[in-house]
Every structure is written in structure tokens, then in C-alpha cells.
């Protein structure tokens, strides 16, 4: 009987220690970032425009998923306003913006209203037409690997995912909390991705719309493809061939 009592006591003590150890265990925040060339993870969430299913609701558009850690923060507020002023340019690029923040949609509505009343940079007020998505429970942050493990934070990192009409991720950016993102660079990147996809070319460093592009390869001399490709091309070196592209 004494041995049985001791055995039960040992098992009870071990179970209590296991329970205490697990109750204090921190959540694993090393969530995987989906990579370029992979399908964009799906999510359904409330937003300032209603419930959205991403990326399905946006069909054959290009999409930019733009994340924020919190509403009413100064850096993030400036970014939302810049995106708002560039909405027409994104529309011309067949590109839809979706902004994610870890605050609830009720706070998003207040933030959106406050931003739309600002005369930022003396450019007048702007209506924010793109959705601000509720990610209060970090569902999107986890799906897109945006939990900041090094700081043990439950807030998502300021990530950007550019997604093509086939819902494949084509570009990824991550920014620190204190540095505002370059919204013009988003337009440049989407433009470059569309030019590359349509024309089977490459873009050099610092390329902008209207600049010459790089030719990835030259077809065999004397062929029809060679005659067409050779138009408006010039070589900087045997390994760098440029082409004038009429957009």
C-alpha cells in the first residue's frame, strides 16, 4: 500500500509540474512567411468595406496586402494617407489595395474617419476607398508570417505582399516600425512586374516606366524572332543587352 501511495504521489507531482510548465509556455511566434512564387494564403475577415474573402474577392486584379501593427500610429497614418492619394494610379495598374491592422474594425472605422478629415501636405482631404481589415486575433498575421518573434511581440510586422492576377506572390517587403514605406516604390514594382510579365523582358536597377529594359536572351540569328527582337536593341556588354520598349 505504501508503494502504491508513493507511485500515485509521484505521478500527481509530475502532472502538476507539466501543467505549470505548459501554462507558462510562450506561443511559438516563428510563423512561416509565404515565399515568392507561392499562392497567397486565404483569409476571411471583417473590414471597413464589409466581410472580405482574400484573395478570391479580387479576381483577375493585381493585389497589394499592406499590414500595420496598430491604428492611430503616426507612421502608419502617413502611409494610409499616401496610399489614399495614389488610389487612381493603382486603379490604372489594375491593382487593388488591402490594408491589415491588428485593431478591431470598430477602431478602423474611427481611424479612417479621422484620416479623411486631414489636409495632409496641403493636398486637400482624401476618401480612403480600400478596406482596412480587422486582424485583432492575428489570423492574417500568422498566415503571412508577420509575427515579430525577436521582440516577442504579438503585433504583426509591417509587411507588404504584391500578388498577381493568378493569386501568386510576386514580391515581398518588410519594414521596421519606425521607418515609413515608400508608396512610389510599390507603384514602380507593380509596373515593372506587369511589363516583365507582358513583354518577356527584365528591368535594370532603378528602372522606371518608360526607361529601356533588358533582354533576357537573343534568338538565333536569321530567324523571324531575331529580326523582331533586334529592333531597337543595343549592347552595353555581351552579357547586358538593352531594348527600347514602347509602352
Query: SS in 3 state form for 180-244?
Result: CCCHHHHHHHHHHHHHHHHHCCECCCCCCCCCCEECCCCCCCCCHHHHHHCCCEEEEECCEEEEC
CA–CA distances in Å: residue 42 to residues 14, 130, 142, 239: 41, 18, 12, 41
Per the document, the length of the chain is: 247
Whether residue 52 is contained in a domain is answered as yes
219 or 237: which leads in pLDDT: 237
Q: State yes or no: pLDDT of 132 exceeds 50.
A: yes
Cβ-based neighbours of 10, under 8 Å, separated by 6 or more: none
25 or 121: which leads in pLDDT: 121
Q: What is the mean pLDDT of residues 116-139?
A: 96
Work out the mean pLDDT of the chain and round it to a whole number. 86
For residue range 171-203, list pLDDT tens digits in order. Answer: 999 998 899 999 999 999 999 999 999 999 999
Q: What is the CATH number of the domain that holds 51?
A: 3.40.30.10
Q: State yes or no: pLDDT of 226 exceeds 90.
A: no
Given the residues 40, 47, 52, 76, select the one marked as catalytic: 76
208: annotated active-site residue: no
Q: Taking the model in full, what pTM does it have?
A: 0.83
| Consecutive H or E run containing 66 | strand 62-68
Report pLDDT for 230. Answer: 64
Q: Last residue of some domain: 132, 158, 183?
A: 183
Are residue 122 and residue 211 in the same domain, yes or no? no
Number of domains in the chain: 2
Are residue 51 and residue 172 in the same domain, yes or no? yes
Report pLDDT for 13. Answer: 43
Q: What is the mean pLDDT of residues 1-24?
A: 45
Domain that holds residue 222: 200-243
Whether residue 95 is contained in a domain is answered as yes
Are residue 174 and residue 238 in the same domain, yes or no? no
Q: State yes or no: pLDDT of 120 exceeds 60.
A: yes
Amino acid at each position: 500500500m505504501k508503494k502504491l501511495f508513493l507511485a500515485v504521489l509521484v505521478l500527481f507531482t509530475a502532472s502538476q509540474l507539466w501543467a505549470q510548465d505548459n501554462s507558462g509556455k510562450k506561443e511559438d511566434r516563428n510563423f512561416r512567411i509565404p515565399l515568392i512564387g507561392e499562392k497567397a494564403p486565404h483569409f476571411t475577415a471583417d473590414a471597413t468595406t464589409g466581410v472580405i474573402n482574400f484573395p478570391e474577392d479580387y479576381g483577375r486584379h493585381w493585389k497589394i496586402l499592406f499590414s500595420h501593427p496598430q491604428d492611430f500610429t503616426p507612421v502608419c497614418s502617413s502611409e494610409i494617407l499616401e496610399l489614399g492619394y495614389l488610389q487612381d494610379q493603382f486603379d490604372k495598374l489594375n491593382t487593388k489595395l488591402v490594408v491589415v491592422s491588428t485593431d478591431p474594425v470598430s477602431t478602423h472605422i474611427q481611424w479612417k474617419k479621422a484620416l479623411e478629415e486631414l489636409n495632409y501636405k496641403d493636398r486637400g482631404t482624401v476618401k480612403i476607398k480600400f478596406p482596412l481589415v480587422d486582424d485583432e486575433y492575428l489570423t492574417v498575421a500568422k498566415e503571412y508570417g508577420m509575427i515579430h518573434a525577436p521582440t516577442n511581440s504579438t503585433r504583426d510586422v509591417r509587411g507588404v505582399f504584391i500578388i498577381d492576377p493568378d493569386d501568386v506572390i510576386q514580391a515581398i517587403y518588410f519594414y521596421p516600425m519606425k521607418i515609413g514605406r515608400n508608396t512610389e516604390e510599390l507603384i514602380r514594382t507593380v509596373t515593372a512586374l506587369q511589363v516583365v510579365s507582358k513583354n518577356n523582358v527584365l528591368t535594370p536597377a532603378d528602372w522606371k516606366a518608360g526607361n529601356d529594359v533588358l533582354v533576357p536572351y537573343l534568338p538565333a540569328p536569321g530567324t523571324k524572332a531575331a529580326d523582331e527582337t533586334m529592333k531597337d536593341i543595343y549592347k552595353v556588354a555581351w552579357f547586358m543587352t538593352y531594348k527600347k520598349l514602347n509602352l
